[in-house]
Structure 1
Amino acid sequence: MMATTLDDGAPVTDNSIVGYRVPVECYKKGMPKDASGRVSLCTVCWTWRVLPDNYVPRYMNEALCDEDTSCLSGYATCTVVPREHKVMKNDSGVLTEVSISAANYCECKPIVS
Structure 2
Amino acid sequence: MLKAGGLVDCDVHPNIKSIKDLYPYLPRRWVDYIEETGFSQIPQNPYPKGANRGVRLDAVPEGGVAGSDLGLMRAQLLDPYDVEFAILNPEHGYRLNFLPNADF
Specify the TM-score bucket, using the shorter chain as the normaliser.
Answer: under 0.3
Give the number of the structure whose residues are more often helix, by fraction. 2
Which of the two has greater strand per residue? 1
Query: TM-score, normalising length from structure 1?
Result: 0.21
Q: Which fold has the larger relative contact order, with Cα–Cα distance below 8 Å and residues 6 or more apart in sequence?
A: 2
TM-score (norm 2): 0.23
